[in-house]
Copies of this chain bind each other. A is one copy, B any other.
Amino acid sequence: MEFSSKLLENAVNEVSQLPGIGKRTALRLVLHLLRQPEQQTLELAESLQMLRTQVRYCKNCNNISDRELCEICSSTKRDRTLVCVVEDIRDVMAIENTGQFKGVYHVLGGKISPMDGVGPSDLNIVSLVEKVKLGEIKEIIFALSSTMEGDTTNFYIFKQLEGHSIKTSTIARGIAVGDELEYADEVTLGRSILNRIPFENSLKGS
């Protein structure tokens, strides 16, 4: 793409570095901003600068927070001995939406993924192991996505925790509520049969 303006070219190049946004989409977005009041662009830019430079992470769970300790970790109603290990804040938001979890979280900040250059030291794993060593945790629930990377990360952490007497579990995999069996993939259906649960338990949480 050849641009008639260096300013425009710079902006398009920067925007197109965002994941899933190509040069054409970036140009469309930037032209949209030019048609809007100047204020909108300045507010957008400022909100990104503010977030990136002033963002803080909860010192207990590493979730994004404006305070030293996030709302969940500082709540007296939450069980801090029950820890749900998740990838990022989106998973926290999703689980919070269910209203079914009364423990606290531990946000890893990603999954182990050698392909993307993400190793165990890039994630908040050490602080989780520390908490276990201090005897603060009774049960850990792994809630990473069940991909190769998620499974690797679960297993790595599981290995680190060997020798400590805590319970570990993973969230149940199975057929989604309301889904038809005939359209389910074999792996999921297979696991849902192997890991079947007592019928009376299935009446909870609805």
Contact = CB atoms under 8 A, between A and B. Distances in A.
Interface of A: 1-8, 10-11, 13-15, 17-21, 25, 27-35, 38, 40-56, 58, 63-66, 70-72, 88-90, 92-93, 96, 109-110
A120 to B, nearest CB: 16
Number of copies: 2
B64 A4 contact: yes
A14 B47 contact: yes
B6 A18 contact: no
Contacts of A18: 29, 32-33, 44
A5 B72 CA distance: 12
Contacts of A11: 47-48, 50-51
A32 to B, nearest CB: 5
A49 B40 contact: no
Contacts of A90: 27-28, 31
Given A14-B44, A28-B19, A45-B45, A70 B4 contact: yes
A177 to B, nearest CB: 21
24 contacts: A4-B65, A5-B64, A5-B65, A7-B51, A7-B55, A7-B66, A10-B47, A10-B50, A10-B51, A13-B47, A14-B47, A15-B48, A17-B40, A17-B44, A18-B33, A20-B25, A30-B51, A34-B52, A35-B110, A38-B52, A38-B53, A41-B52, A44-B45, A45-B45
Contacts of A58: 4
Question: Which of A2, A44, A50, A66 has the most chain B CB atoms inside 10 A of its CB?
Answer: A44
Contacts of A38: 52-53
B31 A89 contact: yes
Contact of A45 (B48, B66, B88): B48
Nearest to A34: B55
Contact of A7 (B6, B21, B27, B54): B54
